[in-house]
Structure 1
Amino acid sequence: MTNFTTSTPHDALFKSFLTHPDTARDFMEIHLPKDLRELCDLDSLKLESASFVDEKLRALHSDILWSVKTREGDGYIYVVIEHQSREDIHMAFRLMRYSMAVMQRHIEHDKRRPLPLVIPMLFYHGSRSPYPWSLCWLDEFAAPTTARKLYSAAFPLVDVTVVPDDEIVQHRRVALLELIQKHIRQRDLMGLIDQLVVLLVTECANDSQITALLNYILLTGDEARFKAFISELTRRMPHHRERIMTIAERIHNDGWLLGRERGRKEGKVEGERSLLRLLLQNGADPEWIQRYTGLSAEQMQAL
């Protein structure tokens, strides 16, 4: 039998019983709701190691985790049996967090796998009776009706790939971000000059945002195209030429273009690392950089 560490005599007794397959099977046959019980092949019960769930989260729970195959045989269901000797107003949320952690670990080895059902069950024997709190985590919100609408429907999606450019340029201070990130995979961004000029003239971004924007364009392109892009941008914006050139010069002095040249002389990898470090320092999203470059988590840490 799997050894468990326990914090109380209550936990020790609970786990000595419900880590036994036959006892757990009886428990589930008796206490699982009928519609959920009928999904489970209880003859396939398998006790999961406590290490299956994140250590910090595991410390919050006195639980047992079983996996079972579905009766259709095409997936797994996990049953979390949580032991509680005192009431907890946030128990439903804790069970939801734990369930999410189980789902995450299940798909870590293959992100194409569908999420498994995780059935949280609470075994309670506290001094206050009956158990006083709802076990629907949505009831824990100050506005449970709104929470039900939010978490039972698809989340809001901002998919700039399908938004027409003419509509994007009407989006005030987020227009620059949306326009550039929609088209950043194009080899040449010169076709966006007209829209960019209109947006920059309307002062829709501050200097730090423009710096980050130009850094971003440089990272995803090459030096020659970047210089041509800046030249055309300033030609179209004579009244803002000094501002744009000052920002471009600052990027140069910070080592972006020097990093590109050094990358050619000393190896492309080191040059790109210099650029990535500078981009991070200028507020770039680390997750985007990791997706764009394909760097591992360890390589990102090394930057």
Structure 2
Amino acid sequence: MKNEIVNKHDATFKEVFSQKRIAKDFIENNIPKEALDIMDMDTLELQKDTFINKELQENFSDLIYRVKINNKDAYISFLIEHKSYKDKLAIFQLNKYILESWMTIIQKENKEELPIIVPMLIYHGKEKWNIRTDIRDMIPGFCQLPEFFRERVPVFKHDFFNIGEYEENDFQKLTRLTAMMLKAFKYSFEEDLEVVLKNFLLALEEVQKEESFETIIYYGEIYLRYIELTNGDVMEEDIRNEIIKLDGKGAVTMSILERRELLGMEKGLQEGIEKGLQEGMQKRNIEIAKNLIKEGLEVDLIVKTTGLSKSEVEELREQLNN
């Protein structure tokens, strides 16, 4: 069984990277141009299935996108590393994942052709992680071997991203929104709560230059909730104190806190007053949902954010499309 802290990181990572715009931004900034040139990123689509079996669940979890490469189905697989220590077997575990993915596709879909699977291994733990990403590097003198031998060594290669070691220039190539959410993972193990909160508040201010208020509220709430999950001692008073230190910044965070207070007040009011507030909140949530639909967010995440039912969100989307 995965421990509680792994589940917290896992759930937040999947919530963030299941947003197509975040995944697309990350892919486009971490795959070479010659590869992107034959990828149809407009076909990028989140898959509900997973290739992880029970044996590999302790090592990774995955989030899979289908995409067309040279007009053929292919997969981009975001693999989240659960370990916090160097493991020499990680490269073999990851490639076992790929082999079993192909076996699943062949068996389930009864196909004889294999799709390309691009594994992107993401890690953000405290410990330095310098595992090999190409199994051929483990064979001494591989490049000097005759072609006969080189052709018989399987190409087990993957891309590795240590978010914990990202520098500011690594974030700058991404959109401000993607950078903000990756910073949530980078600073999740930071022991100084003041540093964590300061980076959160400043990142949220930066995002205002590119995003709508509704989008900022949505992602800001995810970030803030993640801070609370990974820093059990954080209190709203701590956040308010950090806002004061930022000399006029932090207005968006105040909006998130005020929205939370409004939701808390709603629970404690008498039935008649509560009904009036609920109607007001319903109208506001409908407006938020409309804006999130325009931003291209998935229906399930809009439902989670606004509290509207799936049928209500789908009806709103149909109205906007018409």
Pairwise same-fold verdict (TM > 0.5): no
Query: Which structure is larger by alpha-carbon Rg, 1 or 2?
Result: 1
Question: What's the TM-score once normalised by structure 1's chain length?
Answer: 0.41
Question: What's the TM-score once normalised by structure 2's chain length?
Answer: 0.39
